[in-house]
A = this chain, B = another copy of it.
Amino acid sequence: MKYNFSDRISALQPSAIREILKMSSDPQVISLAAGNPAPEAFPTQAIADISKQVLEQNPIGALQYSLTEGYPALRNSMKDFTFNQYGIGKEFDELIIVSGAQQGIELTCKVLCNEGDTIICENPSFIGSLNSFRSYNTNLVGIEMADDGINTDELEKALASHPNTKFIYVIPNFQNPTGKTMSYEKRKRVYELAKEYQVMILEDNPYGDLRFEGEDLPSIKSMDTEGLVIYVGSFSKVLSPGMRVGYLIAPQDVIGKVVVAKQCADVHSNMLAQIICEKFMTSYDIEGHLNRLKEIYKHKCTLMLSEMDRHFASSVHYTRPQGGLFIWCTLPDHVDMIDFCKRAVTDYKVAVVPGSAFTVEEGVPTQSFRINFSTPTDEQIVKGIEILGKITQELC
C-alpha cells in the first residue's frame, strides 16, 4: 500500500542534524547535546515514599479514570504556588494539568490557530515547540534576539505586517537554546504590543525555578490585566520529566477550549504522577529542594564556563546564563558550524546540538551550537570542553 500522510505531518521532515543526535547516544560519546535534568537532581527517596503511601492508602484514586482538568488538589496547590511565588493568576484565570509542558504548548496551538495563521517566535527557539506549531501548518515568523531577549522593534513590525498573528511564543527565562533572559523592560514591551495588536502571548517557563544567579524578574503573566497571556509551567526540570506533568494557566475561556482538546488528546494525565506532584508540593520542603537544584546547576554551569574561558579560542562567543540548562556558542563567520559539530562527534566523540535545529525558518544557516551543562558529570564537562576547545583552536 502507498501511504498518503497529511500535509501537516509530511512537512515535518527528519533533518540533517538527526544524524549527529543519533551519534550522541553512543556510550563512547560525551554528550553535551541533551536537555535532561542531572541524575542527582531527582528526589528519588521522596518520590518512592509518596508512591508507596498513595498505592497503599488510595490505590483506586491513582488507578481509575479521572478528570480531564487534572487532579483537583494538584490544581489548587499549583494555583497557590504560582500565585505566591510569581504573582500569577487573576480572577479570570484557570489552571489545567497537562501531560508535560509540551502538551500545553501543542494544545494552545490547536485551540488558537487555523492552518496558515501566524505565530511569532523568538529566533532561535525550542525545537519541540516549533515542531508542534509546524504540525498544525501554521506560519512561523522568527524575531532575532539580543542578549536581553527578543528585538521588540522587529516584533512590532512583524505584528503590523502579519494581521493573522494568533500569538507570540516566548521563553523569557534562560531560553532554550540560547540561555538568554528577557529584560524587565522587554517583558513589559512584549505585553504592551500584544495588547495593542490584540494577540495572545504563550509564555513558556520550564526553567524559571532554576535561577542560580541574579534576581528573579516578573513573569509576563504576572502583568496580565487583560487576559492575554497563557502561561505554561512544568515539573520536568524541578521534579521529574519521566512523569510528564505540566500545567497551563490562562483565562477561563481559553482553558475551557484546552479541556475539550485535551479530552480528545489523552482524556487526562497520568494520575499517580499527578498525586506524587501534589504530595511533593504540599508535604516536602520545596524551597530546600529548589535550592539544592540551583546549587547543582550553578556548580555545573560555573565549571563549564570557566573551562570554556580557559580552552575556547577567543573568536568563539558564548552566553553566560543565570539559570536553566544551556549555553549558546557562536563560531566566527569563516567556520562551517555543521562541519564543526560533525567533526566533534565523529572524530572527537563530543556531541553538541547544531544551532540549525532551533532556527524558526528551516535551512537558514547559523554559526551557533547549543551546549548542555545539566546532564554531564563534572569529569565529562572538563574533558568535553577541553576537546571542544582544541577544535576551536584548530578551526577558529
CB distance from A245 to the nearest CB of B (A): 8
Residue from B37, B114, B128 within 8 A of A267 (CB atoms): B128
- Please report the C-alpha to C-alpha distance between residue A324 and residue B222 in the assembled complex, in whole angstroms: 49
A322 in contact (CB, < 8 A): no
In whole angstroms, how far apart are the Cα atoms of A270 and B271 in the complex?
10
A244 within 8 A of B: yes
Of B166, B198, B272, the contact of A242 (CB 8 Å cutoff)? B272
Contact in complex: B102, A266 (CB < 8 Å):
yes
Given known pairs A52-B48, A228-B1, the reply for A64 and B240 (CB within 8 Å) is yes
Task: Determine whether the beta carbon of B103 is less than 8 Å from that of A266.
Answer: yes
Question: Contact at A112–B55, with CB atoms within 8 Å?
Answer: no
With A and B bound together, what is the CA distance between A52 and B54 in angstroms? 11
Measured between C-beta atoms, what is the minimum distance from A103 to chain B in Å?
A: 5
Q: In whole angstroms, what is the CA distance A42 to B60 when docked?
A: 8
A227/B1 contact (C-beta < 8 A), A36-B64, A65-B242, A128-B263 known = yes
Q: Which of A72-80, A173-181, A249-257, A345-353 forms contacts with chain B?
A: A249-257
Q: Give the distance to chain B from A270, nearest Cβ to Cβ, in Å.
A: 4
Number of interface residues of A (CB under 8 A): 76
* Interface presence of A28 (CB below 8 A): no
Minimum CB distance partner of A42 in chain B: B63
**A51-B52, A128-B267 given; 5 more Cβ-contact pairs under 8 Å:** A5-B111, A9-B257, A52-B55, A106-B264, A131-B263
14 contacts between A and B (CB under 8 A): A4-B112, A6-B112, A6-B114, A9-B257, A9-B260, A36-B65, A51-B52, A65-B241, A100-B267, A103-B265, A135-B260, A244-B268, A244-B270, A270-B270
The 4 A-B pairs with the shortest beta carbon distances in the complex, nearest first, are A242-B271, A48-B55, A63-B240, A44-B59
